[in-house]
Amino acid sequence: PFLQCLCAICGKKAGTLLSPFPGVGFSSSMGADEVKALAALMTYKCALVDVPFGGAMAGVRIDPSKYSEQELEKIMRHFTVEMARKGFIGPGIDVLAPDVNTGEREMSWIADTYTHTLGYRDINTQACVTGKPISQGGIHGRHSATGRGVLHGVESYITNTEYMDCTGLSPGLPGKTFVLQGFGKVGLHTMKYLHESGAHCICVGEKDGAIYNPRGIDPKELEDYKQGHGTIAGFPKAEFYDSRILEVPCNVLIPAAIKKQLTGQNAPQVQAKIIAEAANGPTTPAAHEIFLQRNILVIPDVYVNAGGVTLSFFEWLKNLNHVSYSRLSFKYGWDSSYHLLQSVRHSLEQWFGKSRGEIPIISSPQFQARVTGASEKDIVYSGLAYIMEQSAKQIMTVAVRYNLGLDQRTAAYLCALEKVFTVYNEAGFTY
């Protein structure tokens, strides 16, 4: 009786191959309209980054904080059985992925339930869900994928001289300041990757408060503090900030919390030059128009937070192939790098002679790391970087074609719609 499932399917073939690829989350405020909107967003997101899935969204309308782990497991297993009976779950039907308030634990429950019920005779049952623990067929790097995708999305624009000239910023991430709203799994990893790239987070906001340090906040120290105290409030290396964090002066603003945070009311006070929408739907249409008028570059959610669905696609492929990335090629890659170094040394010795003995070949730390071979995480991160970079180029090309200027949201949707149209047009419209 306490289980209220909401499932919407929108756009059966935004990509080229399969049925929808929905996220599933817990939220007491979830409604049918929101689920439909997120399903549509997922449709265009998958098309934009060339992930061959359609788009869908599913959810369980409860407040997870009011239930024990055992009760949540029972709810999720019940949810899985009901969805499977209706034909909404399966490795070749709808492949679920984590969303708000769900993660590896919940995805593991779904996979186990499906495996031991309707999928008990299917060798590909692990592929019915992504975002699983590694031991259950998950993929290395999935947990931080959305945050890493945000990094690549921001890099694609902030290194572009033309777009930076429009915003008044110098190209490059080093030295840039950013403000982060939301320190969950997406916000945390976004903060880590931007910090590693030389940017400085000066303000972090959560639902229970915000902290500010103009000299920068270390993400690892803040993560450790939150794990120990359950909140970012009281973090000793930053001061409490009691004003509106979305209006803090910075170079990049990253809303990574919930929808409708940037509105027509607060958009005129936003002092960032770039807004990277790590959350789904954080900007209202009214705010979007104001940002365009103020020459503020908005990197839209339909593109910049697509890292999660991209890594989910990689995990799905891994499950169907029944072999992890790099397992078959790791030793070959290591041997190839070793023989390359030997060849270089041999060539130098032949040219200069061996009168002074063997010529040592000293590899750089970067090359030494590569010599050991590519891990699964290396391979999927490389694939993610390539997809995000290529998608950004496609959006920029469409923006130029239609003379859209800084309106990257419209360019992104046009790019996605063109791909959806191409699929339907070439497949035929009879059915």
Q: Contacts for 319-327 with beta carbons within 8 Å, 24 or more apart?
A: 319/91, 319/124, 319/126, 319/127, 319/130, 319/137, 320/91, 320/124, 320/127, 322/123, 324/139, 324/376, 325/139, 325/376, 325/379, 325/380, 326/373, 326/374, 326/375, 326/376, 326/378, 326/379, 327/376
Q: Write out the binding residues.
A: 45, 146, 312
Q: Burial of 377 by CB count in 10 Å (0-12 exposed, 13-18 middle, 19+ buried)? A: middle
At 431 the pLDDT is 60
**Of residues 84, 81, 34, 41, the one with CA closest to residue 59:** 34
Type of residue found at 185: K
Q: What single DSSP character describes residue 428?
A: -
Cα distances from 421 to residues 47, 53, 132, 245, 416, in angstroms, run: 10, 15, 33, 40, 9
Cα distances from 332 to residues 284, 327, 335, 353, in angstroms, run: 51, 10, 5, 31
**Token pair for 309:** 């669905």
Cα distances from 30 to residues 43, 47, 315, in angstroms, run: 19, 25, 27
**Token pair for 253:** 């603003």
As a whole number of angstroms, the distance between CA 312 and CA 339 comes to: 35
DSSP code per residue over 231-247: SSTT-TTSEE--S-GGG
**Token pair for 315:** 């995990």
Is residue 138 classed as helix, strand or coil in its secondary structure? Answer: coil
Cα distances from 140 to residues 306, 313, 332, 415, in angstroms, run: 17, 13, 21, 30
At 12 the pLDDT is 38
At 424 the pLDDT is 82
Is residue 110 classed as helix, strand or coil in its secondary structure? Answer: helix
CB-based contacts of 71, cutoff 8 Å, min separation 6: none
**Token pair for 355:** 């009168």
Domains located in the chain, CATH noted: 1-134 (3.40.50.10860), 139-325+390-430 (3.40.50.720), 329-373 (no CATH)
Longest distance between any two alpha carbons in the chain, whole Å: 86
Give all strands (DSSP E) within 292-423, no chain letters. Answer: 297-299
At 430 the pLDDT is 63
Whether the CB-CB separation of 45 and 81 falls below 8 Å is answered with no
For the chain of 431 residues, list the mean pLDDT of each consecutive stretch of 10.
Answer: 40 38 65 79 87 74 86 89 83 82 89 88 88 90 90 96 94 95 92 95 91 94 93 91 91 92 94 94 95 96 91 90 76 72 76 66 68 76 93 96 95 92 80 60
At 277 the pLDDT is 96
Q: Write out the binding residues for NAD(+).
A: 146
**Token pair for 174:** 């080093």
**Phi-psi group of 3: left, alpha or beta (phi > 0 → left; psi -120 to 50 → alpha; rest → beta):** beta
**Token pair for 323:** 């072999």
At 224 the pLDDT is 94
**pTM to 2 decimal places:** 0.84
**Of residues 89, 82, 130, the one with CA closest to residue 106:** 130
Whether the CB-CB separation of 252 and 265 falls below 8 Å is answered with no
Whether the CB-CB separation of 419 and 48 falls below 8 Å is answered with yes
As a whole number of angstroms, the distance between CA 128 and CA 144 comes to: 21
Q: Using CA atoms of 297, 303, 304, 308 in order, give the dihedral in degrees to the nearest 10.
A: 170
Is residue 369 classed as helix, strand or coil in its secondary structure? Answer: helix
At 52 the pLDDT is 73
Quote the distance between the C-alpha of residue 352 and its chain's center.
51
Helix (H) or strand (E) holding 190: helix 185-196
Q: Write out the binding residues for substrate.
A: 45, 312
As a whole number of angstroms, the distance between CA 15 and CA 8 comes to: 18
Helix (H) or strand (E) holding 417: helix 408-427
